[in-house]
């Protein structure tokens, strides 16, 4: 299970009671780009172990924006990242998840989407996202990125929101970085977007390659496996380049380096939000290069919207993915996995402020139980 550290409203004891044996966690209090001191990693590891759990994967050591845009003190940032890898390896943690998504870590347009049974989920609606882009952010050139009928619906929907509703909507899009609240404003986002001026997909891929060229030898030396997380959602947003969304892109990324430390975090929820991603086929193709698994399902709707579904429901057939993975894998190494996200259900529905978006207690417990059941029953 993912754990956000001592400030997480779901304590380690509850994760253990839910059936977890290990956690994915990070030192969320350390600013992006700084080196992680080994003592801080050790203290966090001891906290996890004192609760009867293991810390098997770091999620994430975030990649500083300057490394993605290729501006600033790159040498210093690369050395800090390498030093963090050495610190986690010295404490026995062998898997590190990271992502290379420009500006935003993940995007939804509704954090409390009600399903027919009264559960709450998170949804992405292209009309609402266009309203954000065109009317809240007012990004120059945004009009070229949304078809006319979507622009029309976006304007109409934006007109129905009063000012407080607009502010709540904006905050839910721009301030959902894992484990931190930065209080970002639209102007901050505009500044961050401006840094990507002139950076297309090939440039971003070249920046990823530069990062890997420096980091992979260190990872190999200390025995850490890196796992790049896919884009969420897996298509371009806000005019930004996206390089980790499709099967072809995952293959190109793996082709950047032939290293045992270079692999993927196979997130079925993120990848599953694109109808042309055939997940059982992709998991088979990349089986031995998967260093971490995030397991969840998404329901795709006809108009391009999607929402997060129960782990056994939705458009993604998780059992088919797991069976295909099992059949295709040859590596004997164990791979850390976790149920990704969970719906808000039952008692959690009454604590709206106490839930980290996506990381409810009871909904994830249900997902974990379903996945453990599948694994136990698999041949």
Q: Is 267 a known active-site residue?
A: yes
Q: Is 278 a known active-site residue?
A: no
Q: Identify which range of 98-106, 156-164, 250-258, 303-311 contacts ligand DNO by CB under 6 A.
A: 98-106
The residues in 217-236 that bind ligand DNO, with binding defined as CB under 6 A, are 229
Assign 3-class secondary structure to the chain.
CECCCCCCCCCHHHHHHCCCCEEEECCCCCCCCCCCCHHHHHHHHHHHHHCCCEEEEEECCCCCHHHHHCCCCHHHHHHHHHHHHHHHHHCCCCEEEEECCCCCCCCCCEEEEECCCCCEEEEECHHHHHHHHHHHCCCCCHHHHCCHHHHHHHHHHHHHCCHHHHHHHHHHHHCCCCCCCCCCCHHHHHHHHHCCCCCCHHHHHHHHHHHHHHHHHHHHHHCCEEEEECCCCCCCCCCCCCCCCCHHHHHHHHHCCCCCCEEEEEEHHHHCCCCCCCHHHHHHHCHHHEEEEEECEEEECCCCCEEEECCCCCCCCHHHHHHHHHHHCCCCCCCCEEECCCCECHHHHHCHHHCCCCCCCHHHHHHHHHHHHHHHHCC
Pick 157 or 177: Cβ nearer ligand DNO: 177
Pick 105 or 201: Cβ nearer ligand DNO: 105
Whole-angstrom Cα distance, residue 103 to residue 8?
24
Find, among 299, 297, 264, the residue nearest to 283 by Cα: 264
Q: Is 298 in the site for ligand DNO (CB under 6 A)?
A: no
Question: x/- site string to ligand DNO, residues 151 to 180, per CB under 6 A?
Answer: ---------------------------x--
Q: Is 359 a known active-site residue?
A: yes
Question: x/- site string to ligand DNO, residues 257 to 296, per CB under 6 A?
Answer: -------------------------------------x--
Q: Is 65 in the site for ligand DNO (CB under 6 A)?
A: no
Question: x/- site string to ligand DNO, residues 105 to 144, per CB under 6 A?
Answer: xx--------------------------------------
Pairing state between β 95-99 and 54-59: parallel
Q: CB of 243: closest distance to ligand DNO in angstroms?
A: 14
Q: Is 340 a known active-site residue?
A: yes
Q: Is 91 in the site for ligand DNO (CB under 6 A)?
A: no
Q: Is 98 in the site for ligand DNO (CB under 6 A)?
A: yes
Q: Which of 125, 133, 231, 340 is catalytic?
A: 340
Q: Which two tokens stand for residue 35?
A: 């080196």
Question: x/- site string to ligand DNO, residues 2 to 41, per CB under 6 A?
Answer: ----------------------------------------
Q: Is 99 in the site for ligand DNO (CB under 6 A)?
A: yes
Q: Which of 98, 196, 325, 359 is catalytic?
A: 359
Q: Which of 128, 146, 291, 294 is catalytic?
A: 294
Pick 294 or 364: Cβ nearer ligand DNO: 294
Q: Is 128 a known active-site residue?
A: no
Q: Identify which range of 5-13, 93-101, 131-139, 249-257 contacts ligand DNO by CB under 6 A.
A: 93-101
Pick 126 or 178: Cβ nearer ligand DNO: 178
Residues that bind ligand DNO (CB under 6 A): 59-60, 97-99, 105-106, 178, 229, 294, 340, 358
User: Which of the residues are catalytic?
Assistant: 229, 267, 294, 340-341, 359
């Amino acid at each position: 299970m993912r754990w956000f550290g001592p400030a997480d409203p779901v304590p380690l004891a509850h994760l253990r009671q839910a059936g977890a044996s290990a956690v994915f966690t990070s030192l969320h209090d350390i600013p992006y780009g700084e080196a992680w001191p080994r003592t801080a990693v050790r203290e966090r590891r001891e906290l996890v172990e004192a609760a009867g759990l293991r810390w098997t994967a770091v999620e994430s050591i975030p990649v500083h924006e300057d490394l993605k845009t290729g501006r600033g003190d790159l040498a210093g940032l690369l050395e800090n990242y390498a030093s963090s890898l050495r610190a986690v390896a010295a404490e026995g943690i062998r898997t590190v998840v990271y992502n290379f998504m420009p500006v935003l870590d993940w995007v939804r347009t509704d954090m409390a989407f009600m399903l027919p049974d009264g559960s709450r989920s998170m949804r992405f609606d292209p009309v609402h996202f266009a309203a954000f882009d065109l009317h809240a952010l007012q990004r120059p050139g945004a009009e070229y990125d949304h078809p006319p009928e979507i622009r029309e619906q976006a304007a109409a929907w934006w007109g129905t929101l009063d000012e407080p509703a607009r502010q709540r909507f904006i905050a839910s899009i721009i301030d959902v970085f894992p484990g931190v609240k930065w209080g970002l404003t639209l102007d901050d986002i505009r500044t961050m977007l401006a840094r990507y001026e002139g950076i297309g997909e090939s440039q971003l891929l070249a920046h990823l390659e530069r990062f890997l060229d420096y980091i992979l030898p260190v990872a190999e030396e200390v025995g850490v496996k890196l796992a790049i997380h896919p884009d969420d959602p897996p298509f371009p947003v806000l005019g930004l380049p996206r390089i980790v969304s499709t099967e072809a892109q995952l293959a190109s990324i793996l082709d950047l380096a032939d290293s045992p430390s270079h692999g993927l975090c196979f997130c079925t929820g993120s990848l599953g939000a694109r109808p042309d991603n055939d997940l059982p086929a992709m998991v088979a193709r990349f089986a031995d290069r998967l260093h971490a698994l995030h397991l969840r399902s998404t329901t795709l709707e006809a108009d391009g919207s999607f929402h997060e579904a129960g782990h056994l429901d939705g458009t993604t057939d998780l059992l088919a993915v797991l069976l295909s993975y099992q059949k295709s894998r040859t590596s004997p190494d164990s791979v850390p996995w976790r149920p990704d996200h969970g719906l808000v259900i039952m008692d959690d529905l009454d604590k709206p402020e106490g839930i980290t978006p996506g990381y409810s207690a009871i909904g994830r417990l249900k997902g974990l139980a379903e996945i453990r059941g599948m694994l136990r029953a698999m041949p």
